[in-house]
A and B are shown apart, each in its own frame.
Chain A
């Protein structure tokens, strides 16, 4: 059992164990949506919201149903965790999309394209799987999910800023696009390594 405080885990998830720069999760939408600030922040906020909520849901389902000593079901169903987690995520995103469409068409049009994209964002499923691997309690899992979202948003906003600056640079043709983005992200990852030892997630 892990008795690191939830606050420490939050800080760790944002800096020392950043889900994008340390665990490489959430790269696809990171590359596609980092051209304008509004897009980046909007996507980051959506990811954070979905991440925190689905972490709570998946925690409940995993410890309430899937594990052998669960109160609701006495069988060991942990081998179904991948399929159940992704189903929960897909259903939740679908539900959120329907609610937003019903209650705020304006927000729906602003966010619209992002929500289905989030379902296949590996960060969401990845955080759920890490929650199981690290054996977090509920509060720790929430801190990890929320921190993960905040950390992801931070990095995508930073990269957006960098890409806007790079728009004025005279890059050799082969490097434009994905290649330079990867290299710049690598340098950012190096900078983030400076946070190591600040807090520990265990």
Chain B
């Protein structure tokens, strides 16, 4: 069955992910996701960049968070979080008590490179891609600890910036802000057995 993609559209750069999917896979069915009911129709979910406290709060208040957790546990949903999305997927966040989904067995450090004046972009090697992607890091988090089930897929200057656990993927950077859609196409190929 072809993937059906949802992009969490509570807040953040969700429109950039929508544009990326439309350009690399024009026939893919695509939905904006705000409520638990919206989630029913998708097999692949992207949680975009944005503010994790804002989106976490609203995911919790309107039940979307719980619905995502349930679907991943049933193995009927693949999820990719970029930047904020990775923070929300993490099991724990350093020095900050905030809502998270806990679907990726990692600890993240928010704003690990510093404030906005320290945002940057640079080539980043990702396992499975034949050449580096341009990593755009905006007030970006890094992965500081990970469990045995987690596969580290990319490092930048020795810091972990991409990690995967089964069908859950997190990246510190924003492929949706570039024209390179290889990460999007790769995510669409994640198998979802129970869908």
A and B form one complex: no
